[in-house]
Amino acid sequence: MNVEIHPGQKVAFVGPSGCGKSTIMQLLQRFYFPNEGKITIDGEDIKDYDIHYLRSKLGVVSQEPILFNGSFRENIKYNKYDATE
């Protein structure tokens, strides 16, 4: 698979269950590595990126989102302590 995403562009992976959307995101987040080939960003292997920085730049909406026991505000601010009102 070869995907080119331009700076500032937002991309969504959509498709039926089992087509690999979650696998792609797990690979991008470095939860595991590909058996063949490599994943690069701006020509640099993602193994060379700081994992916390890399993950902070990706947003994932699961197929079955779960809200925590709390208000909408608390859920939105979860792990984003500097979020504004």
Each residue's pLDDT tens digit, 21-52: 889 999 999 999 999 999 998 889 999 999 99
76 vs 66: CA distance, rounded Å: 12
Contact in structure between 14 and 21 (CB atoms under 8 Å): yes
- Dist CA 46 CA 55 (whole Å): 11
Q: In terms of pTM, does the model score above 0.85?
A: no
* Domain residue ranges in the chain: 21-77
DSSP state letters, 20-45: SHHHHHHHHTTSS--SSS--EETTEE
